[in-house]
Amino acid sequence: MLRLRQVDTMTASELRNMQEVLFNKETEVVQSESTAKGLSIESLRLHQDLEKVQQLEAKINSELSTLKEQLSNMKSELDTFRDLNTLRHTAEEKKKRLLESQTSLAQRRDSFMQLLEEMNQKYEAQKTKLQENETHTQLANLERKWQHLEQNNYVMKEFIASKTQQCEYASMTNNVYQLVAEYNKSLMDA
């Protein structure tokens, strides 16, 4: 019996140890699961942060490329503006060409204006000469008379056409005779 009690006590002691170990292990499992869940959430957040950083990096690279291109353009423009003598020389030559072109165009304009004035004078002289010409005057009068006669002719044609329409009663009389004959026939049959 004593031995049984020892086994029981030993077993109870071992059982308590085992229960404590089990409790510790369960606690560790819960903590491990909690830690794993936390790490999973942290991993997801870090992946999202990584994507944002990559997008930001791409944007920065794009802007950097644009800025480098702008800087290159500015440097070339700066080189151009540094050479003031060449700029002045180019501007002077362009100004000279434009002034020459302006002078040339002004001369052409003046010559065309003079030519136009001469042609207008010739036209007016010819017009006056033509109006003073007796044949031209007769032709103009005949042309007006002809237009007047054409107008009268048109009015007369219209008048004749309307009167002719009013006078065409032959087809109508035939139609009336035919209707009277049919009416008489229907009266006799009835």
Q: Is the pLDDT higher at 2 or at 104?
A: 104
pLDDT in tens, 70-86: 999 888 887 777 777 88
Give how many domains the chain has, as a whole number: 3
Are 77 and 92 members of one domain? no
In a domain, 5, yes or no: yes
Which tens digits make up the pLDDT trace of 14-37? 888 888 888 998 898 888 888 889
Domain that holds residue 113: 83-132
Query: What single-letter amino acid sits at 83?
Result: D
Q: What is the pLDDT of residue 97?
A: 95
Cα–Cα dist 42/29, whole Å: 19
Does 5 score more than 70 pLDDT? no
Q: Say if residue 3 is in the same domain as residue 71.
A: yes
Query: pLDDT tens digits, residue range 114-155?
Result: 999 999 999 999 888 888 888 888 888 999 999 999 999 999
Residues 68 and 5 in one domain: yes
Q: How confident is the model at residue 107 (pLDDT cuts 50, 70, 90)?
A: very high
Q: Are 73 and 88 part of one and the same domain? A: no
Residue 22 CA from chain centroid, whole number: 78
27-68 pLDDT tens trace: 988 888 888 898 889 989 999 999 999 999 999 999 999 999
High-pLDDT (> 70) share of the chain, %? 93
By the 8 A CB rule, do 108 and 116 touch? Answer: no
Residues 24, 66 within the same domain: yes
Which residues, in sequence order, are CB contacts of 136 under 8 Å at separation 6+?
A: 130
Same domain, 97 and 123: yes
Q: Provide the mean pLDDT of the chain.
A: 86
Task: Write the CB contacts of 87 (distance below 8 Å, at least 6 apart in sequence).
Answer: 80, 81
Residue 13 inside a domain? The answer is: yes
Rounded alpha-carbon distances, angstroms, from residue 154 to 149, 157, 164: 9, 5, 15
Q: Give the chain's largest Cα–Cα span.
A: 171
Residues 59 and 128 in one domain: no
